Amino acid sequence: MKGYLIVLGAIIVTLGVIGGALYLSGNYEQYQRRIQAVGTSAGSQATVLDVARWEVAKLVGTAILFSGVILGSVLIGLGWIGKTLEEIRDANAGDVPDAAPPRDSVK
């Protein structure tokens, strides 16, 4: 189970980074095409809505990137912690006797 968490976390990090980068790239290309089609500078009044759409797309793309990285890192961390706790439990299992001594022999 712990190994699956680590692998799932790595997959989520990868998909988050790729998905966020593709989202940002596609929206930036669309923004640049609209700016060139209008033929004005980026600060003109004809492109205010396009600039607003690009700003929202930057926020969404960044959120996709960071949420994938954060969620994936949490899953990797949980898998790692679980694996470490399992190793500690296994190491301590050899030190603890299985049965307690009888009560009569304890004085």
DSSP letters for 65-104? HHHHHHHHHHHHHHHHHHHHHHHHHHHHHTTS-SSPPPGG
Angle between helix 2-38 and 48-93 (nearest 10): 170
Does residue 50 lie in a domain region? yes
Q: Is 28 within a domain?
A: yes
Specify if 16 maps to a domain. Answer: yes
In a domain, 79, yes or no: yes
Placement of tokens 């205010």 in the chain: 48
Helices (H) and strands (E) in the chain, counts: 2, 0
Report the number of distinct structural domains present in the chain.
Answer: 1
Q: Which domain holds residue 85?
A: 2-89
pLDDT in tens, 87-105: 888 888 776 555 666 666 5
The pTM for the full model equals 0.70
Angstrom distance (rounded) from CA 82 to CA 6: 10
Q: Which residue did the predictor score with more confidence, 10 or 43?
A: 10
> In this structure, is residue 76 part of a structural domain?
yes
